[in-house]
Structure 1
């Protein structure tokens, strides 16, 4: 029993340490997304998020994003769990996923909807 507890504690420390390495990249992408124009924001989205937007707005991702009230504030907090991250801006919450070329925004315009759930204006499934 004691070995299992120690192993779990070591695993948590190792995962947390690795996650901390990605925080600057995650915060940079989130900050870039918050301050970018709609076309650049589209470039920072996952393919699934772009496809979902273009399904709803056939004129394209930039037009769809321009019409949404997405946040433009600075980064308040960021957390990384392996290949996923959450960044809270002063006026929005973003979820990011790690892709082969770096971090991408998987969901934006997210508001808490109770018990750890979020409703997001932009998200790909």
Structure 2
């Protein structure tokens, strides 16, 4: 029974992967307006504490290259790109970026330049 549940979850994650990777790619290569539209509300609010999103997102988050690795866990996802790591969440409006400009920090959580509280 547990094996069937794990297989079902893996299948769901695989089905979500194309949408997650599309949003990550659009965010990483998009202009500031596109990037701002793809941020989750909390990440957008955090970024706008430093100024208008369109003016700050370009300097806060580097443009990133191709997708190297994607992991999806239910409504959460991580996409490693050649120049960045993004964290996403599924919202009623589709997949949104909750953290960007992220770098590994050893055994500690990633350090991200843009993230909601």
Q: Which residue of 2 aligns with 1:110?
A: 102
- Show CA shifts across 1:99-124 (max 9, x none): 11210011000000012620000001
Question: Residues 26 and 116 of structure 1: is their aligned pair in 2 closer, same or farther, counting only changes over 3 Å?
Answer: farther
Note the residue ranges of structure 1 that are not aligned, 5 or more in a row: 1-6
Question: SS where residue 21 of structure 1 aligns?
Answer: helix
Any gaps of 5 or more consecutive residues in structure 2? none
Q: Distance in 1 between matches of 2:54 and 2:61?
A: 13
Using the alignment, how far apart are the partners of 1:72 and 1:39 within structure 2? Answer: 16
User: What SS is found at the alignment partner of 2:63?
Assistant: coil
Bigger radius of gyration: 1
Match of 2:81 among 79, 83, 89: 89
Compute the TM-score of the two structures, normalised by the length of structure 1: 0.88
Find the counterpart in structure 2 of residue 3 from structure 1: none
| Equivalent pair of 1:108/1:123 in contact (CA under 8 Å) | yes
Out of 68-77 and 105-114, give the one that drifted further: 68-77
- What are the equivalent positions in structure 2 for 1:1-125 lying under 5 Å apart? 7-55=1-49, 57-58=50-51, 60-115=52-107, 117-125=109-117
Q: How far apart are residue 53 of structure 1 and its match?
A: 0.7
> Is the contact made by 2:19 and 2:95 (CA closer than 8 Å) also made in structure 1?
yes
- Between the aligned partners of 1:69 and 1:82, the Cα distance in structure 2 is 25
1:72 CA drift (Å): 2.1
